[in-house]
């Protein structure tokens, strides 16, 4: 999921500019898009939220560290969403007709999957602790 923000745009827009040429009003419609690569801090956080869950998957023997890394990934993803919204609101020009694109939805889906991972890790931890009590 995290790698999708590098492929898809966060926001696509069309800006209408009115030009007066020889008394004739012409409208120029210019399309634009905002992606992760346009903002360096957003790019760094996108790299972290892509790599950190991949590392976390293979730490199944250390559940406490896995839980901590999943929480860190969740916080990173939420900060990515906040920074992306701030970036979109700050960069887009005023007379605009635009919409959020697939790249802005993927981090929201990632949050849901990370919450499911936290619940699964807790369930596994309870199972292992109950098996230790039976020995």
Helix/strand/coil for 100: strand
Q: What is the pLDDT of residue 119?
A: 95
Per-residue confidence band for 80, with pLDDT thresholds at 50, 70 and 90: very high
Helix/strand/coil for 102: helix
In total, the chain counts a number of residues equal to: 135
Q: What is the pLDDT of residue 60?
A: 83
- Mean of pLDDT values over 76-100: 83
Which residues, other chains included, contact 100 with Cβ-Cβ below 8 Å and sequence gap of 6+?
Answer: 10, 11, 88
Indicate whether 116 pLDDT > 90.
yes
CATH of domain 4-134: 1.20.140
Tokens of 33: 């898009």
- Tell me which residue of 129, 125, 127 sits closest to 62, measured CA to CA: 125
Classify strands 96-100 and 11-21 as parallel, antiparallel or unpaired.
antiparallel
Q: What is the pLDDT of residue 95?
A: 54
Per-residue confidence band for 129, with pLDDT thresholds at 50, 70 and 90: confident
| pLDDT tens digit sequence for 6-41 | 899 888 887 777 777 776 677 677 788 888 988 899
Q: What is the pLDDT of residue 4?
A: 87
Q: What is the pLDDT of residue 30?
A: 76
Q: Where are the domains of the chain?
A: 4-134
Q: What is the pTM of this model?
A: 0.83
């Amino acid at each position: 999921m995290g790698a999708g923000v590098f492929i898809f745009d966060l926001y696509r827009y069309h800006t209408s500019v009115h030009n007066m040429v020889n008394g004739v009003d012409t409208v120029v419609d210019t399309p634009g898009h905002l992606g992760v690569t346009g903002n360096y801090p957003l790019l760094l956080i996108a790299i972290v939220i892509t790599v950190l869950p991949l590392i976390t998957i293979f730490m199944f023997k250390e559940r406490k560290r896995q839980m901590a890394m999943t929480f860190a990934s969740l916080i990173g993803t939420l900060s990515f969403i906040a920074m992306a919204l701030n970036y979109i609101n700050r960069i887009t020009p005023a007379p605009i007709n635009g919409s959020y694109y697939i790249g802005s939805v993927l981090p929201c889906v990632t949050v849901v999957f990370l919450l499911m991972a936290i619940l699964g890790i807790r369930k596994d931890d309870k199972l292992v602790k109950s098996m230790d009590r039976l020995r």
